[in-house]
Amino acid sequence: MLSGKEKFLSVMRGEMPLKWMGYAFEPFPKTPFHAVIDPITIWDILFIQGEYVVDNWGVAHRFIPGEDPGIIPIVTEENQVIKDMAKWRDYVTFPQIPDDLDWSAAKEAAAAAREADEFVMCATFRGLFERLHCLRTFENTLVDMYIDPDSCYDFFGAYTDWKLQVAERLCDEIGPDIIHSHDDWGSKQQPFFSPDKFEELLFPHYKRLYDYYKKRGVIVQHHCDSFIQGFENYLVGIGADMWQGALPENDLIAMRENTKGKLLYLGGLDQGVIDRPQDEVTEEEIRAHVRAAIDKYAPGGLWLPCIGGIECINTWVTPIVIDECNRYGAEWLAGQQ
C-alpha cells in the first residue's frame, strides 16, 4: 500500500489512473500551515504582533491576533523605506541573518514529521514582489515597474541574493522536502502586472532562486492566491513544481491543459464563499462547495483541493473542509474504478 507521501507525489507526477484524492496537505504535519517554522522566518516576520511594529527592514506592520487576517504592512508616502526607486540602494539595508538563531525547535519538528512519514515543508514569506511593495507604497511599486524597470530589476536581483542566503541556511539546517514560497501577484480578479512584465523583471531572479532549491533536492511549492491566468507556464519555467492558492476565478482547467502535466494545482475552493462566520454559511454549504470542486477539477488529475490561504480565517471552517475533501475525495475516487 502506498504511503500518503507516495500518493501525493503520484498526483504531482500526473500519474493516471489517480491513486488518491483528498485534502492537499493530508500527508503534511498537522501544524499551522502544515509547515516547519524556522527561526529565520520568526526573526524576519513572524515575531510581529501589535498595532505598529517596525521590522528588521524598517517596515511598519500591524497584526492583532483575532482581528487581522494576517500581518499587514502599513506603508505610506511618509514612512516608506524607499523614497526614490532610482536610489533604492541609498535607503535599503539588507538585515544580517543572525548566526546564533536557535534551530532546535525547527529540527525537532522536522524530525517528528519524518518519524510520522510526513513531508517536511518550510515556509518562506515576503517574495520578491511583496518585499518591494513593503519597502515602497503599493502604488509606487506598480508605477516603478513600468517607469523605472532597471532599478526594480536591480532590487529584485539583490533581494534574490539575500533570499539565497536564507535558502542555504534552510537546506543546511533542516533539509526540507518542500519549500512553500509566498508571493502574491494579483487580486482575485486580475494580476497586478502583465505576464510580459513578470518575464522581464521577476522571472530571471525566481528561476535563480528555485534552481538552487532544486539542486538541493527540494520540491518547490509557489503560493499565489491570485488571478494569474497567463502566468502558468512562467511558473513552470521558474521551476515551481506546484501552485498553491489556485483560485477558481482562474480557468484552472485551461491552465492545466496549457502546462501539459508539468504543474500540480492546489486549490479550487473559493475562500470568499466558505470561509465565513457561522451565521453566514452552513456546514452543508461548505461541504457542497468542496464536492462541487472535486467533481469539476479532479477528473483531469494534477489537482488537489485546498483553500487559497491554507488555513481559514474562521477557524471552525477548516476541519469541515479537510473532512469533506478526504471523505468525498475517497468516495469520488472509488467511483472512478
Q: Which of 129, 176, 188 lies closest to 153, judged by CA?
A: 129
Residue 138 has pLDDT above 80, yes or no: yes
CATH number at residue 229: 3.20.20.210
Residue 337 has pLDDT above 80, yes or no: no
The CA–CA distances, whole Å, from 81 to 49, 105, 139 equal: 20, 33, 14
- Distance, CA of 321 to CA of 44 (rounded, Å): 31
Mean pLDDT, rounded, for 239-248: 98
pLDDT of 66: 83
Residue 245 has pLDDT above 80, yes or no: yes
List pLDDT tens digits, range 57-110: 999 999 998 888 889 999 999 999 999 999 999 999 999 999 999 999 999 999
Q: Tell me the pLDDT band of 273, cut-offs 50, 70 and 90.
A: very high
* Of 40-44, 122-126, 277-281, 309-313, the least confident: 309-313
List pLDDT tens digits, range 213-237: 999 999 999 999 999 999 999 999 9
Residue 261 lies in a domain: yes
pLDDT of 225: 96
Q: What total of structural domains would you count in the chain? A: 1
Mean pLDDT, rounded, for 135-153: 98
- Contact yes or no for 97/169 (Cβ under 8 A): yes
Mean pLDDT, rounded, for 124-131: 97
- Contact yes or no for 180/223 (Cβ under 8 A): yes
Domain of residue 189 covers 4-41+72-336
Mean pLDDT, rounded, for 234-246: 98
Residue 64 lies in a domain: no
Residue 314 has pLDDT above 90, yes or no: yes
- Distance, CA of 111 to CA of 66 (rounded, Å): 31
pLDDT of 106: 98
Residue 52 lies in a domain: no
Q: In this structure, what C-alpha cell is assigned to residue 38?
A: 524556522
pTM: 0.96
Residue 46 lies in a domain: no
- Distance, CA of 192 to CA of 189 (rounded, Å): 10
Residue 67 lies in a domain: no
* Beta strands, E only, the chain: 50-54, 60-63, 72-73, 121-124, 178-182, 219-223, 242-246, 264-269, 303-307
Mean pLDDT of the chain: 97
Tell me whether residue 30 is exposed, middle or buried, using C-beta atoms within 10 angstroms of its C-beta: 0 to 12, 13 to 18, 19 or more.
exposed
Residue 57 lies in a domain: no
pLDDT of 1: 84
- Distance, CA of 73 to CA of 59 (rounded, Å): 7
Residue 184 lies in a domain: yes
Q: In this structure, what C-alpha cell is assigned to residue 226?
A: 491570485
Residue 32 has pLDDT above 90, yes or no: no
